[in-house]
Structure 1
């Protein structure tokens, strides 16, 4: 599984993000390209901030869904989205695109950090798993928009 913490995957994701335009059309789902760029920011922010959390998460999610976050099997199209990650209004593509690029860079910049706090919903991840889940999420949505 590729990891956003490796130079190759980081460069690949950056190149693919650069190919997005405000006219990029989705292949599935309901989000516009601006909404997708906004949607992809929160998981990166969560990892970058690396704050301790007191949430125990959902045992069902941790038990049955967590491994799919960082394995080699692609996610299926039209997976449900957590309500707080759904863009309820249109987003300005240029703004969200720039913010997403900056967060990808910020995530890669912390690649040497050793302590990674647990995800609030999925619980503990290793450093490698954090990189894999970030890559997989971005890859899924970039494919959604044909890049």
Structure 2
């Protein structure tokens, strides 16, 4: 269950995460689902999971559409942003979302978590072949995985846990 108002909070700031692996991404998403969260931006956990999962799937299956100006912007985006993404740095600029990657308005948190798990399993498969990025062009598999990890972290930073995750602080049996 999510603890958030409709729309973004006007009193909360984006938090800073340091997710080092896709296991960290899944743990963070599951924790937010369990303890609840406040939204700093417009998307819920379910919408974020849906969005990043679609992006992961399209990076393998192919992007259905790319803006006509993308080839002209690619060298600039690659020069200005790719290094920062690969080094896991914050990017202040807000990049527009491709229409087909926008999440459904009513995506449920619980339904989107299995979608995220499936998409992560696909991109982690060592035999996965990726297509060129609409923003950055050709990327290696390792670069694509770093882009996806950064992308997940970027969006999850806009959800603030509503309560401490008691399980994270309890002694292991």
Query: TM-score surpassing 0.5?
Result: yes
TM bucket by the smaller chain? Answer: 0.7 to 0.9
CA distance in 2, matches of 1:130, 1:80: 19
Secondary structure in 2 aligned to 1:124?
coil
Q: Do 1:34 and 1:93's aligned partners in 2 also have CA atoms closer than 8 Å? A: yes
Following superposition of structure 1 onto structure 2, how do residues 127-142 of structure 1 map, counting pairs within 5 Å?
Answer: 127-142=141-156
Q: Do 2:46 and 2:112's aligned partners in 1 also have CA atoms closer than 8 Å? A: yes
Following superposition of structure 1 onto structure 2, how do residues 97-108 of structure 1 map, counting pairs within 5 Å?
Answer: 97-108=113-124
CA distance in 2, matches of 1:14, 1:97: 8
The unaligned stretches of length 5 or more in structure 2 are: 1-18, 162-173
Quick one: higher RCO (CA 8 Å, sep 6+), 1 or 2? 1
The unaligned stretches of length 5 or more in structure 1 are: none
Q: Which of the residues 135, 138, 154 maps onto 1:124?
A: 138
Cα deviation for residue 120 of structure 1 reads 4.3
Would the alpha carbon gap of residues 77 and 19 (structure 1) be closer, same or farther in structure 2, given more than 3 Å must change? farther
Q: TM-score normalized by structure 1?
A: 0.73
CA distance in 2, matches of 1:57, 1:127: 25
Q: Are residue 26 (structure 1) and residue 42 (structure 2) matched? A: no
CA RMSD, 1 decimal:
3.1
Q: Do 1:57 and 1:120's aligned partners in 2 also have CA atoms closer than 8 Å? A: no
Q: TM-score normalized by structure 2?
A: 0.64
Aligned to 2:54: 42
Aligned pairs, how many?
A: 137
